[in-house]
Amino acid sequence: MSKYDEKDFEKIALQMQKQVKEDPNNVQLRNELAIVFMEINQYEDAFFQLQTAAEIKPSVQTLYNLGYFYFAEGKPIIEDIGSGSFEEDAEEEEMSYTWEIADKEAFDIVEDLLKNKPRHYFPYNVMGEMYIKKEKYEEAIGILEEAITLTPSLENLNNLGLCYYKKGRLPEAAECFRKAHLLRSSNNYSLFPFLSYGICLANLGRKSEAKEAAKELLLLSEKEEEELEADIAEIYYILEDYEEVIKIYSKLDWRFYSEEFFPTYFYSLWKLSKTQEIEELASKTIQRKEKDMKEVLQDPEEEEEFKIECEEVTKEDIAFIKNTVKEVYWGKAPVVRYEPTLETRCYLYGCFRHTDVNPSYFSI
């Protein structure tokens, strides 16, 4: 349990609300109250505080935090509002909200802020993610390179690597993923940058380095209970080390792994003439799926819509498995279609859990 888990955030929120009433133009206080509201899942109230702070003092910090909130959470739309102000109504009656995506609002705010070349890397990281979401990788590359010159982080290095990977620039992608992995910290312990590094090395034909990365990944995955074994096996598959592929896959409990990994596993088994293992796993998986589907269809408490969806998905999965076996027996080698993982974290400036307890409002 961290020191933050021990705090009574509801009590803190009440105290801070009183302080805000006494000093309504204190944007730092409103920012901190918004963060406390988010700790107790009162996101509508958090949004109101960030929005009000940006209206009172439209600085880089207040506007950025509002823009980031739009990007990460969206925006609340009030469905039932009385005759008073937002704040008065929020206090006097229960209000109904719906949440909508607010990517455009977020993009407009952060894009405008970047024109002034802020000195903190958060806005650049977030803008990089926005461009990646739009699949505008060239634009993202430029922004993320600027972020890295300010402060290299696991996120901006990994996401720059993702962009290079998407553009087919594998040597540069590999180097970014390698550097990203070295920056694992309490903010982000992700192993995905290292996995992407291993995939890049394998695709570049750097066999010994790729195998070393895969070995280390297996140890880290087991130690940290990340369960990335099936993904790591694909590094060996790209290297055509079918024995290692089988060694990893044969240890997996396939009840908890997607059949999307079957093609590379089955092909590796076929290459080593282990067709009996293919037949057994395919048959066992199909039988289990049919059994699970039958239980759902016969359950009187399940909704009809769910039953229809379950039947459709199960039939698609079974057809996929059967087709995979057929193609493997034809000698068709599956292609690993690896997609690097976008890395993110909390980018709310002044978040006491993830950044500073008492941030400087002039450092960005």
Arithmetic mean of pLDDT over the chain: 90
233-251 residues labelled b (16+ CB within 10 A) or e (exposed): bbbbbbbebbebbbebbee
Reduce the DSSP state of residue 73 to 3 states and report it: helix
Query: 1.25.40.10, 1.10.1740.10, 1.10.10.10, 3.30.70.1140: which CATH number matches 122-329?
Result: 1.25.40.10
Residue where the block lists tokens 């290292």:
194
Q: Return the percentage of the chain with pLDDT > 90, whole number.
A: 80
Structure confidence by residue, pLDDT tens digits, 215-251: 999 999 999 989 999 999 999 999 999 999 999 999 9
* DSSP result, 198-224: HHHHHHTT-HHHHHHHHHHHHHHHHHT
**Exposed, middle or buried by CB within 10 Å (0-12, 13-18, 19+), for 358?**
exposed
pLDDT tier at 2, thresholds 50, 70, 90? very low
Reduce the DSSP state of residue 75 to 3 states and report it: strand
Q: Give the residue-averaged pLDDT of 246-272.
A: 95
Structure confidence by residue, pLDDT tens digits, 188-203: 999 999 999 999 999 9
| 78 phi and psi angles, rounded to 5 deg | -80, 125
| Neighbouring residues of 190: CB distance < 8 A, sequence distance ≥ 6 | 154, 158, 184, 341, 343
Q: Give the residue-averaged pLDDT of 322-336.
A: 96
Take residue 225 and report the two structure tokens written for it.
């209970």
Q: Give the residue-averaged pLDDT of 292-317.
A: 95
Give the Cα separation of 321 and 263 in Å (integer).
8
Number of other residues whose CB lies within 10 A of the CB of residue 58: 13
CATH class of domain segment(s) 9-114: mainly alpha
For residue 40, give the amino acid letter. Answer: I
Predicted pLDDT of residue 357: 38
Structure confidence by residue, pLDDT tens digits, 25-84: 999 999 999 999 998 999 999 999 999 999 999 988 899 999 999 999 999 987 654 544
Give the Cα separation of 172 and 268 in Å (integer).
30
Structure confidence by residue, pLDDT tens digits, 310-323: 999 999 999 999 99
Q: Do domains 9-114 and 122-329 have the same CATH topology?
A: yes
The residue extents of the domains of the chain are: 9-114, 122-329
Q: What are the distances in angstroms from CA 35 to CA 16, 54, 280, 353, 358?
A: 11, 15, 53, 9, 12
Q: Which of 343, 344, 6 is nearest to 197 (CA)?
A: 343
Take residue 80 and report the two structure tokens written for it.
């039932």
Structure confidence by residue, pLDDT tens digits, 154-165: 999 999 999 999
Q: What are the distances in angstroms from CA 249 to CA 83, 102, 230, 253?
A: 63, 42, 6, 9
Q: What are the distances in angstroms from CA 293 to CA 78, 320, 321?
A: 41, 16, 16
Predicted pLDDT of residue 95: 67
pLDDT tier at 352, thresholds 50, 70, 90? confident
Q: Count helices and strands (H / E) in the chain.
A: 17, 2
Which three-class secondary structure string do you get for 92-129?
HCCCCEEEECCHHHHHHHHHHHHCCCCCCCHHHHHHHH
| 305 phi and psi angles, rounded to 5 deg | -60, -40
Give the Cα separation of 335 and 25 in Å (integer).
59
Predicted pLDDT of residue 364: 40
Single pTM value for the model:
0.87
